[in-house]
Chain A
Amino acid sequence: MTPLESSTLEENSTVETKDAKELIQEVLQVYPDKAKKKREKHLNVYEEGKSDCGVKSNIKSVPGTMTTRGCAYAGSKGVVWGPVKDMIHISHGPVGCGYYSWSGRRNYYIGTTGIDTFGTMQFTSDFQERDIVFGGDKKLAKLITELEELFPLNRGISIQSECPIGLIGDDIEAVAKKSAKEIGKTVVPVRCEGFRGVSQSLGHHIANDAVRDWVFPQHDKEKKAGNIPEGTPYDVAIIGDYNIGGDAWSSRILLEEIGLRVVAQWSGDGTLHEMIKTPSVKLNLVHCYRSMNYISRHMEETYGIPWLEYNFFGPTKIAESLREIASKFDETIQAKAEEVIAKYQKQTDEVIAKYRPRLEGKTVALMVGGLRPRHVVPAFYDLGMKLIGTGYEFGHNDDYKRTTHYVEDGTLIYDDVSAYEFEQFVKELQPDLIASGIKEKYVFQKMALPFRQMHSWDYSGPYHGYDGFAIFARDMDLALNSPTWSLIGAPWKQIDE
């Protein structure tokens, strides 16, 4: 039983798919002129052979559109810093930001929460009116001494600025320096106020810069003192894997199996110590380019560490990535990479044999953050599915350039898509599956369309690596082939419609 048997869907499925460019123009009609001019630059259709997707990106969202984007704080605290498990991340400002981002992302970690790790906790300075009026620096300094007393095993502290901090002129850098001396630990001030930039993306950048300015000096100091061991020729770091549902672990296992030594995870299940040691690795392996290319480039320029983007979604890309990673090392690693690919062949074949026939030819529309709108596409292809539209919440031009390697001619591209546009596109194109975020999920499920969250893996995962691919396949199948979709629409209504 497929969703197509539902009464309401039949009605729509008879509509002929319009030319995608016409569709874009039609959808734009409802905007006021000024907003229409802005939005039309963000929507296009990919044409084979072009070097980008023909859309503008990383531009301010148009007010009132119902953008899905978040803010710089979300990019720094929620994405980059939050998962560093042995540090305490203070949501500095009013209570809300820390509350809404508390345990929201499932960055898995091993540790005793509240004792030596702090990932699923919320620490806040809970600003009151007097803090806005008189400034929050004193409160912050006091708060850090209280943290130190109650959570003595923390390895360091980051101060994640919320909107008011930058507006009231607080000097969190001064507090950070003074407090760091007092408690003898790393204290990192992060200027990720939510009004900075146009999306989460600037928050990633600011967070990367804070690592550069407040963490790496410790590496340099330790290095000078001779406390950083030379390491092995096989030392690598995983950069830009937030270990959602355990993704970094199902990736790490493969890297270790091919003979590499993973010295650090950035930042899922990562520690401050791992970050400090990273400038001594031989190669940085970058999964989420969007959120951590900045620190990778910095390490390349300053420490001469090359970096390599890889993709562990789906067996095609996993094998390709393993070979490319191995090619940067000697023959033993290359031989092991082949062994590992061969070892998992049976597992992969079984997954594809079971699920591909159930998913073959199904179409998917994606809309995710800064990496997955392209990165997960090959995993869908491995299962015989087709991509009909994709777009980023906060991608940049370099992301759309990279996207060209993943999409086919005629794919609809939407940047920072508004709720209105997305709904209209989906209504017209009728994909079999939508893969996007929590805010979109129930909109489309109400339209009788199967949906999977592609930020949180819909509470499942991991999806990275060979082990993750099996789960990915299972989950796409259970979404698409659930019998519940066929219940939508009362049977006595089918004749009328």
Chain B
Amino acid sequence: MTKMHIKLTVNGKAEELLAEPRELLIHVLRERLNLTGAHIGCETSHCGACTVEMNGKSVKSCTVFAAQANGAEITTIEGLGSPDALHVLQRSFREHHGLQCGFCTPGMITRAHRLLQENPAPTEDEVRFGMAGNLCRCTGYQNIVKSILAAASEINAAQEAAE
């Protein structure tokens, strides 16, 4: 089958590659671009472990063809922070015990990042509703919600202080 020339901007960096149209975005990210932060969990559009941001939307990258993403701007967990300079959400998940095994965490944080872009001061209910597409089998969600609420407060406090 003919390969397609695909251009993506991933975490601010222009990428070009050849891929079959049937290749899924998650495979291109993990196997071609070596961005293994987004995980393959259920592969059936349920669990959200593969969540990345595409053109300002949280998407399950196991349910997007690389061909559909041609021309898109993608942000993965690797684009949010680094081990030396954690994103506030990453720090908050660590401080509030928002993870145990960590498998769902990249998807959780990437999704939470978009949620806070759209709703910078969510209520607990809004966090739970907005995170409903991400499953965690360890935490019981309580500490994930706590981590996101704490990160939101921290971001908002920093912004108020700056104003």
Our verdict on whether A and B bind, yes or no, reads: no
- Measured CB to CB, the residues of B under 8 A from A are none
Could you list which residues of chain A lie within 8 angstroms of chain B, going by C-beta atoms?
none
